[in-house]
Structure formats: structure tokens, C-alpha cells
Structure 1
Amino acid sequence: MHLDNESLFTLLPWLSPALVFLVGACIGSFLNVCIYRVPAGKSVVRPGSHCACGKPIAWHDNIPILGWLILRGRARCCGARVSPRYPFVELLTAALFLACWLLFPPLKALCGMLMVSFLICGAFIDIDHFELPSVFTIGLGIAGIILSCLVPSLHGQSHEIFAVAALRSGLLSLQGLLIGSAVILWIALVAEALLKKEAMGFGDVLLVGGIGAFCGWQGAVFSIFGGAFLGLLCVALVFAWNAVASKKIRVKSLESPEKEDELNRHSHIPFGPMLAAGGLVYFLLVHKWIDPVLSSINAIIWK
């Protein structure tokens, strides 16, 4: 029996979501490489994947998610422990790719997948190093504006003349970038003046601008305040953790200054992951409900 591609996907409706999930897991594996190598200034292409001991990782041990499970979280070559964060990033990327595919038309879904990749890299690098590399923040903004012009549906624009829809979408993207970055910049400046210390880095400003380029000003604003809410939850967890761990760490810190540094590190929370989570929640889940609310507030303010 001859089956073309369309009939194959019709007969097997689970096939395209499964392929998207697999591709997402593979992209997640590459994102792990970027998360580790970009802050170190290393190439993400060469050398190939290798263990901490320096030995190359065989392809069959480098299968996303499954490789870590099969080896029970240890390297085959030397038995060293492999962080569970590697399969977590792969699974997270795959799940978010699948969500984009199921929720949006193909072209918008692909745009969402690119945004997901940028945000995951930026968020996990911020967790590790308390910095957001410009390749992911500025790159997110540039990619958002370009894709908005190429895929006007990213901002809900359609017109019988493609150039008109592309122009409108591009302007909405630019508006989101400028408004989003301006709002968080003013928040940062006011917070710095009140607290007498830096409240957030400029990378956070650029990140919100990039989210606005993909999601419009509404998404940028939601990522700020949604991210702040997530941040408050994390602060509560950190205080709870410190209440349990601080006494032990401080007693040991008398003999080991590194323990004091450990406590101080656990007392700081990067804001980038919260902003990224807020942007993704808006893009995937709540934009249909948030947009009318923000538009109504905007109309009242400027009435």
C-alpha cells in the first residue's frame, strides 16, 4: 500500500508529537553543551561530547534522557557521577517543544521552540554563574523581531498582503522589546535607589526585552510580575533552607571559609530564571486571559 506523508500522519496521529518530543530531547542535549561551554568561552561544536575525565562519550551513551537512565547517572568510562540536571534539561526541552507543537500552528510553534531554547540556556547559565550572556539575551530580541516579520501570526497578524502583516507584526515585536526593557529598567533603577545596591543586572533588562520581542509588551510585563511572584516563592524556600542549614554551615565556616561562601551563595537568587518562567507561562498558557486585562488597564490609564 502506498502512503504519502499526509496520510501517514493521519493514520498515526501520535507520530508528529512523538517526533517533536524526540527532536526536543536532542536539542535539549545540545543546550546542555551550550549551558556548560558558553560561559567558559569554549566552542559548542568542538570537541565532541566528553566525560570530565577527558574521554569521549560514545554515541550510545549519549542518547538523550535514556543514556543517563541506562547508566544510572554514572559515566561508563570512569564511574563518575553525572548530574541529573542533564536529563532534566533534555526532558524539559522536549516537554516544552511538545507543548508548543500541540498548542500552536506549525510556524508559530517553531518560533516558540526557538524562544524556549534561548530561555532555557539563559536561565540555567544564570543559575550557575549569576549572569546572562548577551548571545542569549540580545540574540533572543533579534530573533524575535526577525521571526515576527517572517511569521506575522506570532503576534496574531494577518492580511491579504503579506508585507502589511509582516510590518505590523514587526512593529509589535519592536514595541514589546522597547516597552518590556524600559519597564524593568525603571523598576531596577528605583529598587537600586531604595536599597542602595544593585537590584538586578542589565542582562535581566535585555532578557525581558527579548521576551517582549516574541510575546509583545503584554508578555514582557507579565514576565516581570509573574517572575517576581515566582521569585517570592523561591525566597521563601531559601529562607526555609537557611533556617535548617545555616547553623551547620556557620559552625563549619569557622574552620572552612568555603562553607561561609556556600551559605552566601544559597542566599542569592538569580532573577533570570523567574523572568524566563514567566515569559513561558504567558506564551503557552495565559496570554488569552492576560491580554484583555492588560489592554483594559492600558485603556483606562490613557483614557
Structure 2
Amino acid sequence: MTSASIAELSAAFPWFFPTVAFVLGACVGSFLNVVIYRVPAGASIVSPGSHCACGQPICWYDNIPILSWIILRGRARCCGRPFSIRYPAIELLTAVLFVVCWNSLPPLVAACGAVFVSALIAATFIDLDHMIIPDAFTLGLGVLGLLLSFWVPALHGQDSGMFLVDAMRSGFLSLQGLLVGSGLVLWIALVAEAVLKKEAMGFGDVKFVGAIGAFCGWQGAVVAIFGGALVGTVWFAVAWLWEKITGKRAQVAPPTETPDGEPTGLALGAHVPFGPMLAIAGALYFLVAHRWIDPWLGEVATLF
């Protein structure tokens, strides 16, 4: 389908592509639920098919994204076990972000964006649950960002009409973002570790920022780092207020302990994952904020 035919279909039926994006996003979100649960466990994401905690396979009509959870009122048909509301929430989140990608970006860039935000969602919830980001969502995502940058030069704003030239420029910008992002956060981690006398940031975060930079360029990597810190500050403020009001520590994951015995709550001094904060900042930059941030960062860069 050409750009002209897409434009004509969008003009005639403005609801069509956003609806397709929403349905596709919900289906991808359902798959991400499987990925989030099985990848950290080292299990196959293909086989066996979806099944209840009691062991019974889930029928297709009970596995419709978002709707099945509502129809079944959050309980399994086979045994009545409750299903976490997180399942439809992830499906809805993915669906909404797919629609935002389509409405905000050119079609090919929107497709790349759908891949990007899907990986960010999976990495976020795995990090929340297990305090790790698997290499598939760091090294793998970085390599994928490089490849997509060559294939879709518009991902980095290269659209002169000369594909080979645009592809080389886009690939260079992607590699620059990967190296700048991972290098900058590595130095921040090393300095913080020297000051605090303990590990302040996992190496997974270093690779994760590099992957974000591969999709967003060096500007997106920088925004992810400092925007993630801002998101973290807001996160801690909300958690502090929650604890003061309720007397309970806010949890980012099921009540567990880190390997060194510290709880995963959001109180000061507790271990909390930085990956979700990086993901939120990276997604905001990619989808909307780059329009305002890039010109400003461009002017700042000319001063050095």
C-alpha cells in the first residue's frame, strides 16, 4: 500500500487505521503478557499455549484481549482463580500507544515505534518484577534499532529522496545515539558508585539507554537519562506521600526481597529499578517530546 492510498483511505475513513492500530496493539499486548511472565523464567514464549495457573488450556474465546477479562470479571472460567488486572492494563496500554504512534508519526516510522514501545513495555514490567532487564531488550533492541534505522531512514529524520545516502546517515545517527547513551550513563554509574560506595545503577540500564539511543538518537538518550531521573523524583514523591497517608510502603512489584535482603519498596534507601523510568522518558521523547526538545538541544550543541 502506497503513501497516497493510505492518505486516501484515511481521508475517507478516518477511524479505520486508528482502529486497526488499537486492535493490533491489544493483541501485541496480550503477547507481551506472555513475554513478561516467561522470558525471566527461561520458558518458551511459543509453547505451550496460554493456560491457567491450574494447568487447563485457555480457550480462544476466553483469551480475547481486554474483553475476556471484563466478560469473565477477572476470573478464570475453568477454576475461578482471579486474573490480575495487570493483564488487561498492559493490553490497553499497548493498544493506546500503538494508536498514538499511528496518529503522531509517518506510517513506516509508526511501525518502528510500535516495535520500540512494545519492547519498552516488556522491559518495564520485567524490571519491576525481577529487577533485571534481559539482554533481548537491551542488546537485542539496540541491534534492531540500528537495522531499522538503515531500513527506515525517516526514523532519524532522513528523507532527502536518496535512499542509500539517507540510510547511511540514519544508521550513523542511530549508532551515535547508542554509543553516546550507553557511554554517558556508564560514566554516571561509575561516578555515583564511587561517591555512594555501592552500585548505583545496573549494567542493564547502561545497555538499555544505548538501545533507546539507537531508536531516538543521542538526543533521546540524553532525555531518557535526565527525564528518567525526573520521573524517578516524581515517583519517589508519590511513594513518600502514599507511605505518610496510609502508613504502608508503596511497592513497585510483588512483596519480595532483593538478593542482598532489601525490600523492593519505594522508600528512601530501597533498591528500585531505573529501567521503567528510562522507558517512560524514552517513550515520551519518541512519541511527542522530540518536536520541542530537538531544536533546543541543537542550539545547545552548537555552543560546544
Q: Do the structures match in fold with TM over 0.5?
A: yes
> 2:231 matched to 1:245?
no
The answer to which structure has the higher helix fraction is 1
Q: 2-side partners of 1:223 and 1:8: how far apart?
A: 36
Q: How does 1:37-52 map to 2 (within 5 A)?
A: 37-52=38-53
Q: What is the alpha-carbon distance in structure 1 between the residues aligned to residue 301 and residue 186 of structure 2?
A: 19
Aligned-partner Cα distance in 2 for 1:22–1:281: 22
Q: For 2:153 and 2:118, how far apart are their aligned partners in 1? A: 20
Q: Which amino acid aligns with 1:79?
A: G
The reply to whether residue 84 of structure 1 matches residue 57 of structure 2 is no
Pairs within 5 Å for 1:175-186: 175-186=176-187
For 1:196-275, list aligned pairs within 5 A. Answer: 196-243=197-244, 244-245=246-247, 264-267=263-266, 268-275=271-278
Aligned ranges 1:186-201 → 2 under 5 Å: 186-201=187-202
Instruction: Using the TM superposition, give the Cα deviation of residue 233 of structure 1 relative to its aligned residue in structure 2, in angstroms.
Output: 1.1
Equivalent residues in 2 for 1:1-303, closer than 5 Å: 10-243=11-244, 244-245=246-247, 264-267=263-266, 268-300=271-303, 302=304
Q: Which amino acid aligns with 1:275?
A: L
Q: CA deviation at 1:263?
A: 8.0
CA positional deviation for 1:72: 0.7
User: How far apart are the structure 1 equivalents of 2:241 and 2:199?
Assistant: 24
Distance 1:114 1:271 in 2: 21
**Structure 1: distance between partners of 2:278 and 2:264:** 20
Q: What is the CA distance between 1:245 and its match in structure 2?
A: 3.3
Structure 1 CA distance for aligned equivalents of residues 102 and 274 of structure 2: 28
Determine helix, strand or coil for the equivalent of 1:280: helix
User: What amino acid sits opposite 2:13 in the alignment?
Assistant: L
* Higher deviation after alignment, 11-20 or 184-193: 11-20
Give the deviation of 1:8 after TM superposition. 5.7
The whole-number CA distance in structure 2 between the counterparts of 1:8 and 1:152 is: 24
Shift of 1:293: 1.4
TM value normalised by structure 1? 0.90
Counterpart of 1:163, as a letter, is: L
Inter-partner Cα distance in structure 1 for 2:286 and 2:27 = 22
RMSD between aligned residues: 1.9
Larger radius of gyration: 1
Shift of 1:161: 2.4
Give distance in 1, aligned partners of 2:97 and 2:65: 15
Q: Which amino acid aligns with 2:286?
A: F
Matches of 1:284 and 1:161, distance apart in 2: 26
Kindly tell me the number of residue pairs found equivalent between the two proteins.
Answer: 286
For 1:99 and 1:139, how far apart are their aligned partners in 2? Answer: 24
1:262 to partner: Cα distance: 10
> What percentage of residue pairs aligned between the two structures are identical?
59
Q: Deviations over 1:131-178 (max 9, x none)?
A: 000011111101110000000000001233211110000000000000
* Counterpart residue type for residue 265 of structure 1: T
Give the corresponding residue for 1:254: none
CA deviations on 1:172-208 (whole Å, 9 max, x unpaired) are: 0000000011111111111111111111101111111
For residue 81 of structure 1, report the CA deviation from its aligned partner: 0.9
The TM-score normalised by the length of structure 2 is: 0.90
Q: After alignment, is 95-104 or 154-163 more displaced?
A: 154-163
* Native 8 Å contact 1:246 1:263 kept in 2: no
Deviation at 1:246, TM superposition (A): 5.1
Alpha-carbon distance in 2 for matches of 1:188, 1:239: 25
> Partner residue of 1:251?
none
1:238 is displaced (CA, Å) by 2.5
